[in-house]
Amino acid sequence: MAPPIDILLPGGRDTAVLLFHGLTGTPLEMRALGRELARDGYTVHIPLLPGRGTRPEDMDDLCWEDWMQAALRAYDTLAREHRSVVVGGLSAGGTMALDLALRRDPTALLLYAAVLEISHRGAYLAPYFWRIVRRWPSPPTDMFEPSEELRCYDPAPVRAMGELISGIKRVRGRLGEIRAPALVAHSIRDRFVPVSCAEELATRLRGPVHKYVIDGSGHAITADARRDDVATASRTFLRRYLAIPELRTA
């Protein structure tokens, strides 16, 4: 398991980017994207979310709201220091970004394989059984370029899946309240979150949406084989929708 790490990359713009990693992953899933955005001048913060990066047992006493309170604290810190804040996330982190957009006013959203539905139907039993069955074997990775550095908890904490389902229920019925411009990125080879989630987001979010659907990558599109293309699409989206001129540092 990768050691705990909280990534903060300084930039020269007055716009910051807050990125959330996946359900039981770490900020390393977002590091490549964060570095590219920082090279474009944005201050980038990728916090290690509560209970991650240590051991699965550390998620057993945490609920969705515990995760969100940490996310809100990170957002508020950046908002005090920058004119605007962009919020994004991978997988469950994308669902958290949507929830944050219902509570704060981010300038834009970067949604990478954001979860509104889970492909494995057995996952929906988690809210009912996590007190009895605490661990479940993690499914094999679907990454085209697997990395030991990016391993998630295995076995996975069942409560964490139950809390994600609670978070999905919280945001899915309120997507029409979110008006921030959004990049909605997804891979057609994603075995964990159906690409129909991207279609739903593109249809139901009220702000401008740029949908970016790719091949040649698994679920973790910010860290897999097409990560450079995802980063380029993200920079292009921000320049287009935020009217920010290109700024590249050495």
pLDDT tens for 197-210 read 999 999 999 999 99
Half-sphere exposure at residue 22, Cβ-oriented, CA atoms within 13 angstroms? 24
Beta-bridged to residue 242, according to DSSP, are: none
Dist. CA 39–CA 220, nearest whole Å = 21
Q: Are 166 and 127 in contact (CB under 8 A)?
A: yes
Local confidence band at 174 (pLDDT 50, 70, 90 cut-offs) = very high
pLDDT at 180 over 70: yes
Long-range CB contacts (within 8 A, 24+) of 133-137:
133/158, 134/60, 134/158, 134/159, 135/56, 136/161
Handedness of CA 148, 88, 245, 236 (dihedral sign): positive
Mean pLDDT of 78-105: 98
Mean pLDDT of 111-119: 97
Local confidence band at 244 (pLDDT 50, 70, 90 cut-offs) = low
The candidate with the shortest Cα–Cα distance to 112, out of 3, 4, 218, 240, is 218
Q: Provide the pLDDT for residue 1.
A: 46
Is-cis flag, bond preceding 140, omega within 30?
A: no
Residue type, 119: S
Higher pLDDT, 175 or 136: 175
pLDDT in tens, 49-72: 999 988 999 999 999 999 999 999
Dist. CA 82–CA 85, nearest whole Å = 7
Helices (runs of H) and strands (runs of E) counted in the chain: 7, 9
- Please give the CATH topology (third level) of the domain spanning 7-242: Rossmann fold (3.40.50)
